[in-house]
Chain A
Amino acid sequence: MPDDLKPEPTEIEFSRAGILAGFRLSLPVALSVFAYGLVFGVLARQANLSLLEAVLMSVLVNAGAAQFTVLGLWTHPLPVLTIILTTFIINLRHILMGASIYPYFRKLKALPRNLSLFYLSDESWALTMGQFQQGKRNGAFLLGSGLALAVGWVGAAAVGYLLGSVVDDPRRWGLDFAFLAVFIALLVAQWKGRKDALPWIVAAVVAVAASYWLPGKWYILLGGLAGSLVGAWRNDS
């Protein structure tokens, strides 16, 4: 992998074709996002948010794990700072994902880059890195992917809110596994040989340990950081 990262800034384009490709290839995942969005809509109603508030949160925050978590904090009087700080901490993992996308995004203009980054999520990031891994260089893929997922997420929040408790548990249909399956498939494409073994093992061990001992999503940040640093340190010595 370091070998296909050229010392020169990576060439990149940003076109409508990239948006469409991102949108299309993310539709299967958007379906699972939709199933979870329904659950969010139901829970938001039970937490006494209005329909408009639930939809507005899904449009503007656009981050599933954080949104589910803060619904558990939604008691009156509202703990404003706790809710915002919790959101921030759960989403810290985005920093690491953003860093990994930087070599490809550095030559994009500020507006398309910053707009696309609004739609960075675990899923859109993973799908986009999969494209870059295949040698495709359309920066708009992230925007298209994020838009497809956001349509599912926001639409489902409204539908779930209006349907109320009729909504089924996505787990019953195995839909919770959709995200894992996608991450696994993209992981397979990231394997570049035995030099990945040690960083991946370190990442796995640290992530599993952190997932048992720390709340929220710290395990993603810590696992990724530990594994990648081991890889960089070993290459260095």
Chain B
Amino acid sequence: MTVNFEVLLIILGMALVTYATRWAGPWLMSRVKLSRRVEIWLGYLPGTILISLVVPDLLKSGLAGIVAGFASLVVARLSGNLFLALLVGIITVWAGRSLVG
């Protein structure tokens, strides 16, 4: 149960730069006048960030992943239940991979 001094410095450095990225977005926006145009831009961010999180990973997760993604989408749309969409997605991808091997 020891901490090497150099490792401690690295961890603190990592923590500092990571927190900086978390803190910088709101800080930057607080320096900008929230014009109508900026508000419209911010309004498009959640959807486009989520798309960017999802689509590349989905394309790399194979046929089982794409089918499961579609299943999650349908369940979320019909039920609006996050947990149900998660459960159906996991079960579908697990079943798909078990079948394909």
Contacts and interface: CB of A to CB of B under 8 A. Distances in A.
Nearest to A3: B43
A211 B4 CA distance: 35
Interface string A76-107: 00101001110110011111111111110110
A109 to B, nearest CB: 13
Given A56-B11, A178-B90, A92 B6 contact: no
Interface in B34-63: 34, 36-61
A73 to B, nearest CB: 10
B57 A180 contact: yes
A88 B21 contact: yes
Contacts, number: 295
B45 A224 contact: yes
Contacts of A202: 48
B15 to A, nearest CB: 4
The secondary-structure label for the interface of chain A is: helix
Contacts of A93: 21, 49
B48 A224 contact: yes
A50 B58 CA distance: 35
A117 B29 CA distance: 14
A188 interface: yes
Contacts of B52: 203-204, 206-207, 219-224, 227
Contacts of B6: 78, 80
A191 B46 CA distance: 10
Given A91-B18, A208-B59, A78 B10 contact: yes
28 contacts: A2-B39, A50-B1, A56-B8, A84-B10, A84-B13, A87-B13, A92-B21, A93-B49, A94-B21, A95-B25, A95-B28, A97-B49, A100-B42, A102-B29, A117-B19, A117-B22, A174-B91, A177-B61, A178-B90, A181-B68, A181-B89, A183-B54, A188-B76, A188-B77, A203-B52, A228-B49, A232-B37, A235-B40
Interface of A: 1-2, 5, 7, 25, 28-29, 49-53, 56-57, 60-63, 66, 70, 78, 80, 83-85, 87-88, 91-103, 105-106, 113-114, 117-118, 120, 122, 126-127, 129-130, 133, 173-178, 180-192, 196, 199-200, 202-204, 206-208, 210-211, 219-224, 226-229, 231-232, 235-236
